[in-house]
């Protein structure tokens, strides 16, 4: 059933995210062109925005000298779900480039990213960067409120109050400002927030000097969603200990400003059927008799690449029977390449790959194949399908979609084996995966050995359960769960998640 068929009582949806679901670029003639983003989130959320006559508020990926320059419509050959998002339904947020850099690189990526991944030593705490963060959040809030008012006044909104869905750590302050202005001007709306990264324990969170403001910002919502219950409990705990709120841990409720805010675990899913289809149609890519262990990650210190490479080295040392029979294929997608810390990490990985390959390579075999770059969706699906082991071992990760995409693409019998870190949201929910602590190099090597030698019937059993859960709890189900948590879904369409 299409998602939109079951959304019977949703008002118009206004999505607010740092980036719009497409990027604007100038072509050679200086004209703006739009290139759609193809992620699962955009695919699931865009149809709801379009079908509820809603709006999308975000940064278009380019600084426009003239903020009123018209946004182009999608190209005629664009078949992505955002193609139906007309330019009049898009609200671009424009900020001075220096301020935007302070907000995005200086605060979001240099402070919240490491802190929320429980790596406080990597986080910087600077008042000037946080000031930019607050100003940009205010700009997003103002633009969203204007859009809300326009929608309600024009009569274009559906009958219910519009539903504003704010995404991620870039915009944790916006909700409260939107709520205050909406209450003052008596414009009805519902507000929901979803955090895509972990929410840390209080002892980590309180290191942030302006921690209370962040909580107050998020508590401007009617409902705050996280991937898993642990992050919900961390948030509830922080509200109680930092702000002194009355909380209900069992029912995940926080009292604040005379309102009760719901906190909900909403584990994100993937477009499962699309990945299955890709796995069926993608041409064969790996011409090898070796068993492939596959890693796919943005090149980020949270993803545990150094530990992973060391575990693989230990595997070859301790279990030499795998030499010439097993290869690690690691795809590392360039990310934040202008940041020194990321450049240093790349250096470290380059050297480690060189050292391990230098140590073990034979005339007929290299243990590690390392791709520093992006591969197409087709290639990715082929790698997922042909891999014997999916190795997903972040040091910390909100959810991790790669683990889910890997199982979706495991269409061959007998299937391969998924290894997941317990420090990823996916490790909490994908119960039949092998669990591997990336910090324990020796035992991680043993888990890889176990995966490589697992009997066929056990592989089949584990993979069947993993695939069944991800198929049922796909990204459409996630969007539906969000609507349900907001009270925007008809009761008969609510159903329980498959555990
Ligand atoms: C954040 C949270 C949470 C990767 N390489 C290629 C490629 N990819 C795609 C994968 C996957 C996505 O990138 C990565 O998603 P992750 O979930 O692993 O990680 P983050 O980017 O850190 O995302 C995370 C997520 O938000 C959603 O809430 O799960 O915890 O950190 O979809 O397929 N795609 C292509 N070529 C590549 O080389 N085409």
Reported ipTM = 0.99
Instruction: Kindly calculate the radius of gyration of the chain based on its CA atoms and give it in whole angstroms.
Output: 23
What's the 380 CA to ligand 1 centre distance in angstroms?
Answer: 12
For ligand 1, whether the C-beta of 405 sits within 6 Å is yes
DSSP bridge pairs for 166: 16, 193
Edge to edge, what strands does the sheet with 434-435 contain?
368-372, 326-333, 291-298, 389-392, 417-420, 434-435
Report which of 239, 174, 163 is spatially closest to residue 484, judged by C-alpha positions.
163
Please tell me if the CB atom of residue 197 comes closer than 6 angstroms to any atom of ligand 1. yes
pLDDT in tens, the chain (499 residues): 445 444 545 689 999 999 999 989 999 998 899 988 877 678 778 888 888 889 999 999 898 888 788 889 988 888 787 888 999 999 999 999 999 999 999 999 999 999 999 999 999 999 999 999 999 999 999 999 999 999 898 877 667 899 999 999 999 999 999 999 999 999 999 999 999 999 999 999 999 999 999 999 999 999 999 999 999 999 999 999 999 999 999 999 999 999 999 999 999 999 999 999 999 999 988 877 899 999 999 999 999 999 999 999 999 999 999 999 999 999 999 988 888 899 999 999 999 999 999 999 999 999 999 999 999 999 999 999 999 999 999 999 999 999 999 999 999 999 999 999 999 999 999 999 999 999 999 999 999 999 999 999 999 999 999 999 999 999 999 999 999 999 876 544 555 555 6
Sequence-distant (≥ 6) Cβ neighbours of residue 265 within 8 angstroms: 225, 226, 227, 228, 229, 231, 232, 252
* Separation of CA 425 and ligand 1 centre (Å): 13
Q: Calculate how far, in angstroms, residue 114's C-alpha sits from the geometric centre of ligand 1.
A: 17
| CB distance 270 to 428 below 8 Å | no
**Residues with catalytic roles:** 196, 397
What is the SS3 assignment for 17? strand
Cβ atoms < 10 Å from Cβ of 88: 10
HSE at residue 246, side-chain half, CA atoms within 13 A, is: 5
User: β-strands 22-26, 32-36: how paired?
Assistant: antiparallel
Between CA 63 and CA 65 the distance in angstroms is 6
Q: How many residues does the chain have?
A: 499
- Mutating to test ligand 1, I would choose from 266, 296, 427 the residue with most ligand atoms within 8 A of its C-beta, which is 296
| Residue 366 and residue 260 in contact, taking contact as beta carbons nearer than 8 Å | no
Q: State whether the beta carbon of 331 lies less than 6 angstroms from ligand 1.
A: yes
How many Å lie between the centroid of ligand 1 and the Cα of residue 282?
20
With a 6 A CB cut-off, is 196 part of the ligand 1 pocket? Answer: yes
Contacts of residue 85, Cβ cutoff 8 Å, sequence gap at least 6: 21, 22, 46, 49, 50, 56, 74
């Amino acid at each position: 059933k299409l998602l939109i068929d079951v959304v019977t009582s949703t008002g118009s949806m206004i999505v607010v995210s740092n980036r719009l679901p497409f990027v604007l670029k100038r072509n050679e003639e200086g004209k703006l062109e739009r290139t759609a983003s193809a992620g699962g989130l955009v695919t699931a959320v865009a149809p709801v925005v379009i079908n509820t006559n809603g709006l999308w508020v975000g940064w278009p990926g380019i600084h426009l000298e003239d903020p009123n320059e018209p946004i182009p419509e999608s190209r005629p050959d664009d078949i992505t779900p955002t193609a139906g998002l007309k330019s009049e339904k898009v609200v671009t947020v424009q900020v001075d480039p220096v301020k935007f850099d302070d907000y995005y690189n200086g605060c979001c990526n240099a402070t919240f990213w490491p802190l929320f991944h429980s790596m406080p030593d990597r986080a910087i705490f600077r008042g000037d960067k946080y000031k930019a963060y607050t100003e940009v959040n205010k700009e997003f809030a103002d633009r969203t409120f204007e859009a809300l008012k326009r929608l309600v006044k024009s009569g274009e909104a559906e009958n219910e109050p519009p539903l504003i869905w704010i995404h991620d750590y870039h915009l944790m302050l916006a909700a409260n400002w939107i709520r205050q202005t909406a209450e003052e001007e008596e414009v009805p709306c519902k507000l929901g927030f979803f955090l895509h990264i972990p929410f840390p324990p209080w002892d980590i969170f309180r290191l942030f000097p302006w921690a209370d403001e962040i909580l107050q910002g998020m508590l401007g919502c009617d409902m705050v969603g996280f991937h898993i219950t642990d992050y919900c409990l961390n948030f509830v705990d922080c509200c109680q200990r930092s702000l002194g709120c009355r909380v209900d841990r069992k029912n995940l409720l926080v009292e604040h400003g005379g309102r009760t805010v719901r906190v909900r675990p909403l584990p994100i899913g993937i477009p499962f059927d699309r990945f299955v289809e890709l796995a069926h149609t993608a041409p064969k890519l790996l011409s090898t008799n070796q068993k492939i262990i596959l890693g796919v990650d943005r090149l980020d210190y949270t993803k545990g690449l150094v530990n992973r490479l060391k575990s693989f080295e230990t595997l070859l040392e301790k279990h030499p029977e795998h030499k010439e029979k097993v290869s690690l294929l690691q795809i590392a997608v360039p990310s934040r390449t202008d940041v020194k810390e990321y450049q240093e990490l790349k250096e470290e990985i380059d050297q480690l790959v060189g050292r391990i390959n230098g140590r073990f390579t034979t005339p007929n075999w290299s243990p590690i194949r390392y791709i520093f770059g992006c591969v197409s969706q087709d290639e990715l699906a082929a790698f997922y399908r042909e891999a014997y082991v999916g190795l997903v071992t972040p040091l910390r990760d909100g959810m991790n979609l790669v683990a889910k995409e890997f199982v979706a693409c495991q269409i061959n019998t007998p299937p391969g084996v998924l290894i997941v870190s317990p420090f990823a949201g996916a490790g909490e929910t994908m119960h039949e995966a092998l669990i591997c602590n990336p910090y324990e190099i020796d035992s991680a090597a043993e888990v890889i050995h176990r995966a490589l030698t697992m009997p066929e019937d056990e592989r089949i059993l584990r993979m069947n359960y993993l695939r069944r859960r991800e198929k049922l709890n796909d990204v459409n189900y996630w969007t539906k769960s969000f609507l349900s948590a907001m009270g925007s879904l008809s009761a008969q369409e609510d159903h329980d998640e498959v555990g």
